[in-house]
Amino acid sequence: MQLRQWVNQGESCLSHYIRKARGLSESCDEEIAHFGKQMLTLLQQLCHFAHSPPGPRKWKNFYSQFVLLLMLYEAADNDAGKLARSLAAEMDSLWVFLEENGVEPTNNKAERTLRFGVLWRKRSLGSQSDKGLRWVERILSLKETCPIKARAPFPILVEMVDAYFKEQMPNLAWVG
């Protein structure tokens, strides 16, 4: 069985790095702005590779430019150096989406999925007990899983509560 080995190393979200590079490209400091513009172009190109994978020559050119830019700014004691060091530390996880089928270059989908729960927690001030936390995490998980599995959450919740009162295990076959 081939388990996706990238899971242990994680994947970097290119959107976050693109936002940082865009911010640097608008800097008043000419050197930082230059780095930001170049890095922004490279990161956007990397995202584009998700839909149009590069050939060996194109990849070699991209990779050479990317590594050279990081090496030039990695030692800088400014925001450009900070971003360069951050990218250098994440090198192995920047292009997981090119090696693994189904992996996106950004984690926007995951962040959108978590958004409802985060907003709920901010408005309600969370839960005051471990039991309440377990309830919330399970209800929110059900809320997000049902649309993925093309199921309505309320009937499933009713079935689960019914199984609980009958002291039976609920049917979870639909999850797998």
Burial of 47 (0-12, 13-18, 19+ CB in 10 A): middle
pLDDT band at 150 (very low <50, low <70, confident <90, very high): confident
* Percent above pLDDT 90 for the chain: 35
Q: What is the mean pLDDT of residues 34-52?
A: 91
Average pLDDT over residues 143-159: 85
Residue 95 falls within a domain, yes or no?
A: yes
Residue 175 lies in a domain: no
- Are both 87 and 151 inside the same structural domain? no
The confidence band for 1, taking pLDDT boundaries of 50, 70 and 90, is: very low
What is the average pLDDT across 159-175? 86
Specify whether 87 is located in the same domain as 35: yes
Residues 29 and 94 in one domain: yes
Give the best-scoring range by mean pLDDT among 21-30, 128-137, 165-174.
21-30
Same domain, 44 and 86: yes
Range of the structural domain that residue 159 is part of: 128-165
Note the maximum CA span of the chain.
70
Cβ neighbours of residue 27 under 8 Å, at least 6 residues apart? Answer: 33, 36, 79
Domain count, the chain: 2
Mean pLDDT for the chain overall = 82
In-domain check, residue 54: yes
pLDDT band at 15 (very low <50, low <70, confident <90, very high): confident
Indicate whether 145 and 93 sit together in one domain. no
Q: What is the pTM of this model?
A: 0.61
What confidence tier does 65 reach under pLDDT thresholds 50, 70, 90?
very high
Mean pLDDT confidence for 25-34:
94
Burial pattern 154-172, b for ≥16 Cβ within 10 A else e, equals: eebbeeeeeeeeeeeeeee
- The pLDDT of residue 104 is 66
Are 161 and 86 members of one domain? no
141 shares its domain with 89: no
C-beta of residue 14 within 8 angstroms of C-beta of residue 44 = no
Q: Are 42 and 91 in the same domain? A: yes
Burial of 55 (0-12, 13-18, 19+ CB in 10 A): exposed
Does 154 score more than 60 pLDDT? yes
Mean pLDDT value of segment 111-128: 73
